[in-house]
A and B are shown apart, each in its own frame.
Chain A
Amino acid sequence: MTQPNRVQDAGRINRSRPLTFTFNGRTFQGYEGDTVASALLANGIDIVGRSFKYARPRGIVAAGAEEPNAVLQLGASEAAQIPNVRATQQELYNGLECASTNGWPTVEFDVMAYLGKIGGGMMPPGFYNKTFMSPQSLWPTYEKYIRKAAGLGRASKQKDPDTYDHLNQHCDVLVVGGGAAGLAAALAAGEAGARVILADEQAEFGGALLHSNDWINEKPASNWVAETVARLRTMDNVQLLPYSTVNGYHDHNFLTIHQRQTDHLGETAPQGLTRQRLHRVRAGWVVLATGAHERPLVYANNDVPGCMIASAVSTYIRRYGVVPGNRLVVATTNDYAYQTAIDWANTGRQVVAVVDSRPDPDGELVAAAEKAGIRVIKGSVVYDVQGSKRVKSVSVARLSTTELSLAGSETTLDCDTVATSGGWSPVVHLSCHTGSRPVWDDDVIGFVPGPANQKQLLAGGIQGHYSIAECLAEGFSAGAQAATNAGFDKPTDLTVPKVHEPSVGKAMPLFYVPHKQPMTRAPKQFVDYQNDVTAASIDVATREGFEAIEHVKRYTALGFGTDQGKLGNINGMAITAQAVNKTIPETGTTVFRPNYTPVTFGAIAGRNARELFVPERYTAMHQWHVDNGAKFEDVGEWKRPWYYPKAGESMQDSLNREVLAVRNGVGMLDASTLGKIDIQGKDAREFLGRIYTNAWAKLAVGKCRYGLMCGEDGMVFDDGVTSCLGENHFLMTTTTGGAAHVLEWLELYHQTEWPELEVFFTSVTDHWATMTIGGPDSRKLLAELCDDIDLDKDAFKFMDWRQGTVAGVPARVFRISFTGELSYEINVQANFGMHVWKKLMEHGAKYGITPYGTETMHILRAEKGFIIVGQDTDSTLHPYDLGMGWAVAQQKPFSFVGKRGMSREDPTKANRKQLVGLLTKDPQKVLPEGAQAVADPKQAIPMTMLGHVTSSYYSATLGRSIAMGTIRGGLDRMGETVYYPMLDGSVVEAEICSPVFYDPKGDRQNV
């Protein structure tokens, strides 16, 4: 297979390792060391995609991250599909399969191109907004069609086979960019002894030095690169990260680096390897050595395949051994592009001419080109291109002295490639991420970073300093400075190498190349290739009143897309400035935000995916629940048994069985997830009195008490039972979900308001395994396994706790009940929880012991009218609203948290929503939770809503449905009827009642 554009012997590719790949279904060959872009160009592929809006054929323009067109869909298998891969940055591997992102039905023949051609004039900026946005209801339909016809890549529909991870890193000096300046900076900082990370987005360090013709220390520049990298590799304190793009520069020198660890090896990572890694780096100092991107010129039809950036052409020739055409015209405003002409000529192919906008260019490269016999057309510009799928010829004319129009007659030059250079734009993005606005520099003809907001230094091209000598000197200086700033001694024995490179003459500021036609009449002059933004569309935007650059951006889409306008932004700003009669600095820039290049979702998620996405918290008895078929409910991060279905049971069957077992025999619940806080200190009791609404002063050792916790607004936010373990020692329980919050709440008041109170709080949630046995047989069961506690009903009363031994394990047993039944909560050190649980199951078998889950627990407590904070409360209800005024001790001497809040005007006014019981007229009808109550179901919408259902179940105990809910003034409306309109138009009628549906006197728990 021949590669028509491959040059003999040039480049850094490995010709002994040919690689096969396919593009749009056709098979090609490239070499190890190629990018997909260089391999496509080597094979003479001109068209890599269709443009977004006009569907014009597009070819490769650049050789790096700034590439707007060669954005491909990668992946042979469905699972490994990767959208929007920049062909210029994707290293070739054997078997790589890629396809154009745009182009429907094919990239060579595109339906949209006809729409684009016919409708070109009818597709002004804002076209999609103006045309398709109304009626709004049809937008999804439009969008589907537009996306299919013109959209960017697609994600895989299958599970990603690869793994990704994050690595948290710290360093003294992070050097961004591994070109001349970055390598020098890393070397200097490394020699000083600093911990250094050097990150570069390419496979190889060296940047432009890899394809430079210049000499460092009397040797080719690439030799210096090899020596320097080798030296850095020997340093333990230096970490080299190739394939690594520093994508975000965040607060306090926190930077993210996206490292593509195996993307060059194949479409999925080799077994055991992580495909991509996100480094999260906290750096002492940052050296930005990000270089510069060459700007294309804006001229008519500048998007025809074959139009490229001059430096990219050089890169392809010298680094990859690919000359992307046969006959070259160079259009430039500066000396640098002359090197491209020389490189091209050296391959033996024809340089038609260098067209230089400057009347009197005088740099060394100009002389060298002329000496090599290259025709130089001075004071002139390429203003138009002929050809559709490849450049056929260009139109050249003299530039008037005002530079705003053409002068003199035109010349047509036959060629197939146009390499343009409008100068260089420093890559200021990362500096801008810190909030620093870039500053226009007339000498640089570009924006350079503004004043540093963070511990940041600059070196090389990012400052508009492009000579290798300057880059090296600034790199050494910045690296040494960063290291000394970080507290290291200045490195010794570092001498800036000697560089042989041509001197460079003055460049001309030119962005937009005038046409014979006015801007709006001329053929399309593209500014932003990826978004099809033309000079004329910017002009239209400014005439329609969008004069601020941020508005121009949003109206025209300039700088959107996966390339974020790396090529087009400065030209766009210059054209905007011209259109509104301002200077470029007056016009300013749009804001660059992270990320610099797109990052895969995999890298963002890292290992926080699949079973590691959310932690699962288990109790000490979790394995038993799993082994016994429990269905689980997520409560916070906890996995709690929900119910334990038996074969053939519906969920309601299981719940009925579990509920009746507790009412009639004995059931057991794993209650370990309740928050538990150990409280010690002589002021513990006082503290409880301040933080709970009820009284704690007289609670005796051995007793337990239920308490409500309120915010300063008087609204309930947690509840639980607190036991007096010793005179100065309490055990507080909290809701499962509220445990962490309550502990912080106690600490907040202790640390900020009442530090004088002597009390310590320690979480013991995980320490105690808690199992609740409840039901008439629970005492008998406990007696079988506990012989050192007097279980007599008068010796061990309801709301007492005792210390003893259960199943051989030291335990605290609390006679408290959330079901209304005789009930014991057994706490043992969690290491022994499984043992005790199994013993209880074993001995309980004769009583038909039934494990029950949270759903059954919810029904049992609802039968008793016990609230669940967060379900029956929602931070708008105070204790009186809940009918729990009995739990508020207004006479306490200290104004406890919540007291003042609940006495404000609104919490004390009439007709507040209050929690009540609800009995449906049809006892089999279970109200949906969340249903809204109304007084008059025939009222016109919007109806007056009285409150909503908070809890609703079928109660097997009562043989009917029960519910709790809020009703305005509900506590004074016992016996009244309310109505719940349903989605299907039906209405459920219910009577307001006490929420205590079962055993209202509480006899059962006191037996």
Chain B
Amino acid sequence: MSEAAETQSEIFAQMDQVPAAGSDVIAESPLSNFHWKTTGAEAGVTLSEQGLAGHLVLRSAGNSSFEAAVEKVLGMSLPGPLQSVSDDSGRVIRWTSPDEWLLTVSNSDAFSVEQQLRAEASGHYSIVNVSGGQTILMLSGDSAEMVLMKTCHYDTHESSFPVGKVVRTTFAKSGALIRRVGESEWELIIRRSFSDYLALWLQDAAGEYGLQII
């Protein structure tokens, strides 16, 4: 650990929150106890939980040192309003507010990425690991957009919601960070505590089109 990073650890508590490799610890993603009712073949809607990812909330209000650190460590720039960037390894940075982004990496990388960023950046910023607090649901299929239209009021038409755009909005009676991944594929990032409710909602909304879970 560099000296700068060591000083950082007294200023900011840092902690690898993932059990050591090879431990017998069982991880449970937010939806691991939800029992889906699926409707089998020719489903118009497909859902899949991409649980146990590393989620880091990045905060910076025009701190160029932090922006440079992100570019150096991640090879991507912090995207502008309502935009996202991603790399081939599946790391994604999503704009969520003028001074806030959500970075997803693998859960085992979350700590090292945070350390590297902290080692590079100076000035005012924050990095918060929120990996336990949310989960990623991939929603796809011919009727995926109908399910979204039943659930949130944001205009999902491609003219308003092109691929790559990120929108944080109300989602049923909770909220979600929605990113359009493809023409009929969407990424939903939802809060852990609401995930059972939202799964129940999505299952119900998708019912008439057929639902499969992968």
Contact = CB atoms under 8 A, between A and B. Distances in A.
B151 to A, nearest CB: 8
Contact of A835 (B27, B131, B159): B27
Nearest to B59: A760
B12 A680 contact: yes
Contacts of A617: 193-194, 197
Interface in B1-34: 9-13, 15-20, 23-30, 33
Contacts of B131: 767, 829, 831
A727 B6 CA distance: 13
B192 A620 contact: yes
B191 to A, nearest CB: 5
A803 B29 contact: no
Interface residues of B, number: 64
B172 to A, nearest CB: 7
B200 A612 contact: yes
B142 interface: no
Residue in A611, A619, A729 whose Cβ sees the most chain B Cβ within 10 Å: A729
B157 A165 contact: no
Contact of B11 (A728, A765, A835): A728
A636 B68 CA distance: 42
B37 interface: no
A765 B153 CA distance: 26
A748 interface: no
Interface string A801-827: 001000111101000000000000000
B152 to A, nearest CB: 7
Interface stretch (A21-29, A30-38, A167-175): A167-175
Nearest to B53: A831
Contact of B12 (A168, A726, A828, A829): A726
Interface in A753-805: 758, 760, 762-769, 803
Residue in A273, A280, A618 whose Cβ sees the most chain B Cβ within 10 Å: A618
A768 B28 CA distance: 13
Given A273-B208, A623-B33, A768-B132, A762 B10 contact: no
B200 A619 contact: no
Given A167-B150, A729-B13, A767-B133, A829 B173 contact: no
Contact of A803 (B13, B159, B205): B13
B192 A830 contact: yes
Contacts of B127: 680
Given A274-B208, A614-B173, A831 B16 contact: no
B26 A835 contact: yes
Given A682-B124, A830-B192, A831-B52, A764 B133 contact: yes
A166 interface: yes
B129 interface: yes
A280 B152 CA distance: 11
B126 interface: yes
A810 B16 contact: yes
Interface string B119-132: 00000111111111
Contacts of A282: 153, 155
Given A701-B10, A762-B59, A807-B25, A828 B17 contact: yes
Interface string A279-291: 0101000000000
A414 to B, nearest CB: 56
A616 interface: yes
Given A701-B10, A834-B28, A809 B128 contact: no
A625 to B, nearest CB: 11
A195 B159 CA distance: 10
A618 B196 contact: yes
Interface string B141-179: 000001001101111010110000000000011100000
A166 B25 CA distance: 43
A678 B125 CA distance: 13
Contacts of A165: 150, 205
A104 interface: no
Nearest to B111: A810
A615 B197 contact: yes
A612 B128 contact: no
B196 to A, nearest CB: 5
Contacts of B160: 170
Contact of B25 (A619, A638, A803, A808): A808
Contacts of A681: 124, 126
Contacts of B154: 168
A565 to B, nearest CB: 33
A9 to B, nearest CB: 39
B81 interface: no
A727 B204 contact: no
A831 B27 contact: yes
B74 interface: no
Contacts of B150: 165-168, 607
A865 interface: no
A738 to B, nearest CB: 15
A173 to B, nearest CB: 14
B11 A727 contact: yes
A320 B174 CA distance: 48
A620 B52 CA distance: 13
Contacts of A169: 149
Contacts of A828: 17, 132
B76 interface: no
B15 to A, nearest CB: 6
Contacts of A619: 193
Interface in A172-208: 195
A766 B191 contact: yes
B59 to A, nearest CB: 4
A616 B133 contact: no
Interface string B55-91: 0010100000000000000000000000000000000
B208 to A, nearest CB: 5
Contacts of A762: 57, 59, 126, 128, 130
A725 B133 CA distance: 19
Residue in B198, B200, B208 whose Cβ sees the most chain A Cβ within 10 Å: B208
A766 B133 contact: yes
Interface in A628-642: 638
A545 interface: no
A809 B25 contact: yes
Nearest to B33: A623
A725 B11 CA distance: 8
A680 B128 contact: yes
Interface in A673-689: 673, 678, 680-682
Nearest to B193: A617
Contacts of A764: 128, 130, 133
Nearest to B99: A760
Residue in A680, A727, A729, A829 whose Cβ sees the most chain B Cβ within 10 Å: A829
A832 B193 contact: no
Contacts of B29: 831
A728 B174 CA distance: 32
A622 interface: yes
B46 interface: no
B8 to A, nearest CB: 8
5 contacts: A607-B204, A615-B194, A729-B13, A766-B130, A832-B26
- For the complex of A and B, the 8 pairs showing the least CB-CB separation, nearest first, are A830-B132, A767-B133, A766-B133, A725-B13, A680-B126, A829-B132, A617-B193, A760-B126
Given A618-B195, A760-B124, A767-B192, 15 more contacts: A168-B153, A169-B149, A272-B207, A272-B208, A616-B196, A620-B192, A760-B126, A768-B133, A810-B16, A810-B18, A829-B17, A830-B192, A831-B107, A832-B28, A834-B26
Interface of B: 9-13, 15-20, 23-30, 33, 51-52, 57, 59, 99, 107, 124-134, 146, 149-150, 152-155, 157, 159-160, 172-174, 191-198, 200-201, 204-205, 207-208
